[in-house]
A and B are shown apart, each in its own frame.
Chain A
Amino acid sequence: QKEVEQNSGPLSVPEGAIASLNCTYSDRGSQSFFWYRQYSGKSPELIMSIYSNGDKEDGRFTAQLNKASQYVSLLIRDSQPSDSATYLCAVNRAQAGTALIFGKGTTLSVSS
């Protein structure tokens, strides 16, 4: 089982729709969970972090965490063409201090 798994996509949604991205992780000791956005050829940028079970909202983004199911998701409301990018899920490895382990990413395409 891979440590952090994401569907590679592409996930295609029309402009204005809700995009839902999912991530599962294997290390039950993980405590910190992050979503990064990466545009082609660029470095990742942090868009959301979540540490507790439940939902966390920031503007158009909502992160959801369910530690019992080892599941993290990211919802993007009112999707815009500028949201088209690869979204990386990252989880801290409990035995490696602050080191983050990344999934392979889900490519999102928002059509206008």
Chain B
Amino acid sequence: DGGITQSPKYLFRKEGQNVTLSCEQNLNHDAMYWYRQDPGQGLRLIYYSQIVNDFQKGDIAEGYSVSREKKESFPLTVTSAQKNPTAFYLCASRAATQRGYGYTFGSGTRLTVV
């Protein structure tokens, strides 16, 4: 079945540590996105990529980095510069569904600083 796979589901980070969140899709979608969600809040755009080897900063890119070397993969690195990384991270790709051109989301990674 086609879809978006995020891993790990839960991730614990120590202070000052970089961690990488994985996002893989087998939907053959060109565009991929990373969002962050804090409790009781909506989704905030971190980075997005419309095509391989190209990506743009979203609204809260500071302290994060991405790469897009393959169409299927869009990993997000949370660096030590991100002072408050505890959140629910969602990866999405652009889908054409019977309901229109909305996103398909992965199941998310919950990151906690310990």
Contact = CB atoms under 8 A, between A and B. Distances in A.
B42 A43 contact: no
Interface residues of B, number: 26
A98 B94 contact: yes
A6 B58 CA distance: 21
Contacts of A101: 45
Nearest to A103: B42
A25 to B, nearest CB: 13
Interface of B (DSSP majority class): strand
Interface in A89-112: 90, 96-105
Interface residues of A, number: 29
Contact of B43 (A8, A44, A46, A96): A44
Interface string B86-114: 00001000100101111111111000000
Interface of B: 31, 33, 35, 40-45, 48, 50, 56, 58, 90, 94, 97, 99-108
Name the 5 nearest CB pairs between A and B, nearest first: A49-B100, A46-B102, A104-B42, A43-B105, A102-B42
